[in-house]
Amino acid sequence: MNDMGVIERYKHDLQTYSLEQMRYIPEPGSWSLGQMYSHVILVGMEYLDNVEACSQAKEEQPLGKTKGGEQLFARGGFPPIKIKLPDVPENTPSNTESKEDLAAGLDRVQQRLMEWCEKVGEVNPRAKVEHGGFGWLNAREWFDLVEMHFRHHGRQKQELEQRLGL
pLDDT digits (tens, 9 = 90+) for 92-146: 798 999 999 999 999 999 999 999 999 999 999 999 999 999 999 999 999 999 9
50 or 79, greater pLDDT? 50
Count CB atoms within 10 A of the CB of residue 125: 12
Give the rounded distance of the alpha carbon of 166 from its chain centre. 23
Average pLDDT score over the chain: 93
| pTM of structure | 0.93
Give the pLDDT mean for 33-54.
97
> Looking at this protein, which amino acid is placed at residue 107?
D
Looking at the chain, the whole-number percentage of residues with pLDDT higher than 90 is: 84
pLDDT for position 88: 67
CATH class held by domain 3-163: mainly alpha
Residues 41, 105 contacting (CB under 8 angstroms): yes
CA distances from 29 to 32, 35, 65, 78, 127 (A): 10, 12, 31, 21, 38
Please determine, for residue 28, whether its predicted confidence score (pLDDT) is greater than 90: no
pLDDT for position 82: 80
Q: What is the pLDDT of residues 133-152, one digit of tens each?
A: 999 999 999 999 999 999 99
Domain regions of the chain by residue span: 3-163
